A and B are shown apart, each in its own frame.
Chain A
Amino acid sequence: MARLMTIKNLFSLFLIVWFAYGVWEARNYAFLAKIFPFYISLVLLVFAVISIVIEVRRIVDRADDLHDAASGSDLSVDWDMPMTVVWRRFGTYVGIILGVYVFIYLIGYPLTMSLFILLFYRLIAKAKWVAALVAGCAGFGFLALASHLLGMDWPEGLLALPWPLG
């Protein structure tokens, strides 16, 4: 829990930096372009500082961290696993998506996504080869259909492949 609190505070700190940057950057804008972002971020900066003070005080007081999200505010998250696992898995999945992006950049969108689906089924969902192949083809079919019938585009790769591969 303690670990989460620090990251949580880091996020709040990030917001302060963001809003401060907002004020700083806006100071030089042309008058009409300046007013809105300048004052909004100034007010937000104040609120963000107040918010982090409250957070820190809570840690100091060792108050129980009641779940912040009340009804109607946002979907709640309840983890039945240690936060470290959550963070590690989060990092893994973001890493996977980044890897996918790199491949899209190299070999184009449709091929990357079909391979991604196939490998995801095989390695993460632990599906059988047949299922993985079917899924990969289904993804490819969807893309080919969307591009051919509906005239929609996708990112092209460095490696120029003939339609519908690239």
Chain B
Amino acid sequence: MEAFYQSLNVVLNPSHLMLLVGGVVLGLCVGILPGLGGIVGMTILLPVIYGMDPHNAFALLIGMVAVIPTSDTFPSVMMGIPGSSASQATIMDGYPLARKGEAARALGSAFTASLIGGLIGATVLTLIIPIARPLVLAFGSPELFMLAVLGMSMVGVLSGNQPIKGIIGAGIGLMLGAIGDAPAVTEYRYTFGIDYLMDGVSLVIVGLGLFAFPEIIDLLIKGRPISETAELGKGWLDGVKDTIRHKFIVLRCSIIGVVIGFIPGLGGSVVDWIAYGHIIQTSKDRENFGKGDIRGVIAPESANNAKEGGGLIPTFLFGIPGSGSMAVFLGGLLILGIQPGPSMVTENVDLLYTAIWSLALANIIGAGLALVLSKPITKLTVVPFSYLAPFMILIITFACYQATYSWGDLIALLLVGILGWLMKQFGWPRPAALIGFVLAGNLEQYLFISVQRYGLDWLTRPGVLIMVVIIVASLSASIVYQKKLKTAGQSAVEDIAKK
């Protein structure tokens, strides 16, 4: 416990604070630019930290990574373009709010949710350190497979009243995810002999292709500003109040965020969708989701900040990064001469606490700065989009090129983008495709390992059975939801007929 407070001293040291603020500012910038996320931020910082004191380096790295899910909300809410993979689900309700002229409210509530989520993440992280090792070890391959299935089951609530389109939508994602080298043997699948496809298509490109490209094109075709009303009436304060009103949603989704964050292998990219799906499933009045329900902003935003705390656990204690940015962070640790492992909670516990304090502090600074920025930035939504479009095209092509630094990145963006636009026009759920894409690798890998190792016995493991119960519960929730919708839809048809 003493180390815990000693670390606070280290963190509040002016030079440390300066670096932390520097990291936060970089994180905000990287987050706000669509397609650039934690991996790029880490890559920028890696050469800088060489020879630095580890505590100071942590201030930079963690300050940066902690606030990406805060500022990536800007493009998600304002343009319907994911700022990074952590804020994809925020689009679903945040963007419709912006179109109603309520961008400020959505942002205010998102940043508050991010702040509280980040703090809850740091707190939970502190509390679970003593039991973190056994907790992580409890998730063997069969359990991880079931978790991926649970993630897939979210497709149920995200595919509206046409489950078959949801399934095929998810399938499109799975097929995109199957491109490239197979997990178990050296076999390159669906590559048409193109070297670029050997490693598959990167998540950045699929995310931007499915969401950013269609949105940019549609806004250009419409030729109008994003916001359909000129006045940006409701202020950010209403948003803050919204979040406080829905404090239990924040709490629940933050815990979902931490838990999924610390489970290695699932990756942080579905946290937002799981939180979003969860909140739809557990709400009685669901009619407004997808049309600008503030809860649909609060849920993913509290979860995605909380997950960064959880993500540190497998990286520090096992040296197995749970996400792309954590993989680079792991490299940073090695450059600093720190070998992750069990000793992180014994001899190096001061570093761990420095990380946690930096995480908490970065969330506070980041949310504060983002709130200050939100007022001028929301004005962009009333600017005619053709002024913004070329810059958006510049940023997304530039961001995509950072994936593998090859021409394939740009071509893949265009192709996936056209696919995304067509899916949008014809009502094929893109969220389902994205979830399928993210989970394709996990599903295949963990199923193979489970079957190779345990035959069919893995199906009776207690962890697996618990997960089955959760999945069944979640699926039946969405079926009930769809029935409701169908009756609602029928009455709508009847209404139209009457007229």
Contacts and interface: CB of A to CB of B under 8 A. Distances in A.
Asked if chains A and B are in direct contact (CB within 8 A), the reply is: yes
Interface of A: 8, 11-12, 15, 18-19, 22, 25-26, 29-30, 32-33, 35-37, 40-41, 43-44, 47-48, 50-51, 54, 64, 66-77, 81, 86, 89-90, 93-94, 97-98, 100-101, 104-105, 109, 113, 116-117, 120-121, 124-125, 127, 135, 138-139, 142-143, 146, 150-155
B217 A101 contact: no
Contacts of A47: 164, 167-168, 171
Nearest to B181: A33
A125 B160 CA distance: 36
| Leading 7 A-B pairs by shortest Cβ distance | A73-B160, A68-B427, A70-B160, A33-B182, A33-B187, A125-B386, A44-B171
A40 B410 contact: no
Contacts of B485: 70-71
A73 B290 contact: yes
A71 B289 contact: yes
A139 to B, nearest CB: 6
B96 interface: yes
A146 B164 CA distance: 44
Interface stretch (B62-70, B249-257, B361-369, B400-408): B400-408
B81 to A, nearest CB: 11
14 contacts: A22-B178, A30-B185, A33-B187, A41-B171, A51-B164, A69-B290, A70-B160, A70-B290, A72-B160, A72-B296, A73-B290, A74-B428, A125-B389, A150-B44
A72 B40 contact: no
B223 to A, nearest CB: 9
B384 interface: yes
B92 interface: yes
B20 interface: no
Given A72-B290, A116-B393, A138-B391, 10 more contacts: A37-B175, A37-B190, A41-B171, A47-B164, A47-B167, A66-B493, A71-B286, A73-B290, A74-B429, A101-B411
A74 B190 contact: no
A29 B410 contact: no
B375 interface: no
A58 to B, nearest CB: 12
B168 A71 contact: no
Interface in B141-200: 157-162, 164-168, 171-172, 174-175, 178, 182, 184-185, 187, 189-190
B280 interface: yes
Nearest to A74: B429
Given A121-B387, A151-B47, A90 B221 contact: yes
Interface string B463-499: 0000000000000000000000100010011001000
A75 B168 contact: no
B430 A74 contact: yes
B126 to A, nearest CB: 33
Contact of A71 (B290, B389, B390, B425): B290
A75 B424 contact: yes
Contacts of A41: 171, 175
Contacts of B291: 71
Interface residues of B, number: 80
Contacts of B447: 36
Contact of B80 (A12, A33, A75, A125): A75
B375 to A, nearest CB: 21
B411 to A, nearest CB: 8
B427 A120 contact: no
B287 interface: yes
B297 to A, nearest CB: 13
Contacts of A121: 387, 390
B424 A77 contact: yes
Contacts of B92: 72, 75
B238 interface: no
Interface in B414-451: 414, 418, 421-422, 424-431, 443-444, 447-448
A75 B91 contact: yes
Contact of A120 (B386, B421, B429): B386
Given A18-B175, A151-B47, A66 B386 contact: no
A97 B393 contact: yes
Contacts of B165: 51, 68
A146 to B, nearest CB: 7
Contact of A72 (B162, B175, B286, B421): B286
B426 A71 contact: no
B440 to A, nearest CB: 8
Contacts of A74: 158, 160, 290, 424, 427-431
A50 B182 CA distance: 29
A37 B178 contact: yes
B402 A153 contact: yes
Given A40-B174, A75-B95, A127-B387, A89 B160 contact: no
A37 B429 contact: no
Given A68-B162, A70-B161, A72-B92, A19 B384 contact: no
